[in-house]
C-alpha cells in the first residue's frame, strides 16, 4: 500500500491513540479546553479523511529468455548490421557456453542498448554472474555490459480513500511564547487524561510554524 501524505497546517496537531474508541469519543466531544501554562486554549477536534491511496501487488521475475545489453558503441554502419552482429555474437559467445538460438534482437542506437531474446527458455541464465563481455566490430574490441531482464506484473491494483479511526486532528491551537516541544507536551498530557476523555497516545505531531507533511500507511 502506498504511503498517503497529509498536510498538517500551522497551529494544528495530529494525535494517534492506542484505542480507536478514545479517538471517536474525543471527536464527538468536539470542543476542548487545553491548559497551555499561561493561557487556556479552546481547541476543536476534527475527524479527517485521507487523500486517495493505492494498493497493489508488484510481481518481479527474472526473464529466462531475455538479457539487457548496454554500452554498445555507436558504429558507422547501418543499425541492421549492428543487430546482426549482436545476434551472432551472443549466439556463439564462449564465456556463456553459447546463448543458443536467438528469437529477436531489439536495438536502440540512441541509447546504445539492446534486448536479446533467446528462443529456448532458461538460456539467459547462462549469463548470470558475468556482466562484461568483449565485442568485436569494425576490427575494434569493445566491452559490453550485460544484465538480467526483469518482467514486472502489476496485480490487484485498487484505489482507496480512508478515514483514520485512531487519529484526530486538533485545530485552533493559539500561538504562545512556549517552544513547540513544550506546547506539544502540554497537549499530550491533556489528551492522555481519562478525566478529559482521553487515553494512551501512540504518536503526536504538532506544527507551530509553517506546515508539515505526515505520512499514513495501513
Q: For each of the chain's 218 residues, which pLDDT tens digit applies?
A: 567 778 888 889 999 999 989 998 998 888 888 888 778 888 988 877 777 777 788 898 888 899 999 999 888 888 889 899 888 888 877 555 656 788 999 999 889 999 999 988 888 888 877 788 888 888 889 999 999 999 888 888 887 766 778 899 999 888 877 788 888 999 999 999 998 898 999 999 998 888 888 887 66
Judge if 33 and 104 occupy the same domain: no
- The per-residue pLDDT for 17 is 93
95 CB neighbour count, 10 Å cutoff: 12
- The per-residue pLDDT for 2 is 64
Judge if 75 and 131 occupy the same domain: yes
**What burial letters (b/e) apply to 45-76, b meaning 16+ CB within 10 Å?**
beeeeeeebeeeeeeeeebebbbbbeebeeee
Q: How many residues would you count in the chain?
A: 218
Judge if 125 and 80 occupy the same domain: yes
- The per-residue pLDDT for 16 is 92
Greatest Cα pair distance in the chain: 87
Judge if 93 and 147 occupy the same domain: yes
C-alpha cell of residue 189: 498530557
Residues forming a β-bridge with 12? 207
Start-to-end C-alpha separation, the chain: 7
Q: What are phi and psi of 29, to 5 degrees?
A: -70, -30
Q: How many domains does one find in the chain?
A: 2
From 120, 154, 188, give the residue that closes a domain.
Answer: 154
175 CB neighbour count, 10 Å cutoff: 10
Task: Look up the pTM and report it.
Answer: 0.51
Domain that holds residue 46: 3-54+161-217
Judge if 145 and 198 occupy the same domain: no
Q: What is the CA radius of gyration of the chain?
A: 30
Judge if 24 and 71 occupy the same domain: no
Judge if 48 and 62 occupy the same domain: no
**Can you state the percent helix, strand and coil of the chain, rounding each to 5?**
20, 45, 35
From 154, 171, 201, give the residue that closes a domain.
Answer: 154
39, 148 Cβ separation under 8 angstroms: no
Helix (H, G, I), strand (E, B) or coil at 25: helix
Judge if 23 and 86 occupy the same domain: no
Dihedral in degrees, nearest 10, Cα atoms 66, 69, 75, 77: 0
- The per-residue pLDDT for 1 is 57
Judge if 166 and 199 occupy the same domain: yes
Judge if 83 and 134 occupy the same domain: yes
Q: How far apart are CA 132 and CA 31, in angstroms?
A: 68
Amino acid at each position: 500500500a502506498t504511503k498517503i501524505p497529509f498536510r498538517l497546517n500551522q497551529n494544528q496537531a495530529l494525535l494517534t491513540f492506542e484505542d480507536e474508541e478514545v479517538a471517536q469519543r474525543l471527536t464527538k466531544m468536539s470542543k476542548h479546553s487545553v491548559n497551555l501554562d499561561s493561557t487556556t486554549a479552546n481547541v476543536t477536534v476534527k475527524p479527517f479523511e485521507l487523500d486517495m491511496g493505492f494498493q497493489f501487488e508488484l510481481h518481479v521475475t527474472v526473464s529466462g529468455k531475455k538479457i539487457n545489453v548496454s554500452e554498445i558503441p555507436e558504429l558507422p554502419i547501418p543499425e541492421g548490421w549492428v543487430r546482426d552482429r549482436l545476434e551472432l555474437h551472443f549466439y556463439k559467445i564462449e564465456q556463456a557456453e553459447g546463448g543458443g538460438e536467438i528469437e529477436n534482437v531489439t536495438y536502440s542506437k540512441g541509447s546504445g542498448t539492446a534486448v536479446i531474446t533467446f528462443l529456448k527458455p532458461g538460456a539467459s541464465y547462462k549469463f548470470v554472474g558475468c556482466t562484461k563481455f568483449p565485442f568485436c566490430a569494425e576490427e575494434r574490441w569493445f566491452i559490453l555490459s550485460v544484465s538480467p531482464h526483469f518482467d514486472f506484473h502489476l496485480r490487484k491494483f485498487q484505489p482507496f480513500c480512508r478515514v483514520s479511526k485512531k487519529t484526530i486532528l486538533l485545530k485552533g491551537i493559539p500561538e504562545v511564547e512556549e517552544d513547540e516541544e513544550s506546547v506539544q507536551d502540554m497537549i499530550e498530557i491533556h489528551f492522555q487524561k481519562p478525566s478529559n476523555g482521553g487515553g494512551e497516545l501512540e504518536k503526536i505531531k504538532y506544527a507551530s510554524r509553517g506546515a508539515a507533511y505526515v505520512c499514513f500507511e495501513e
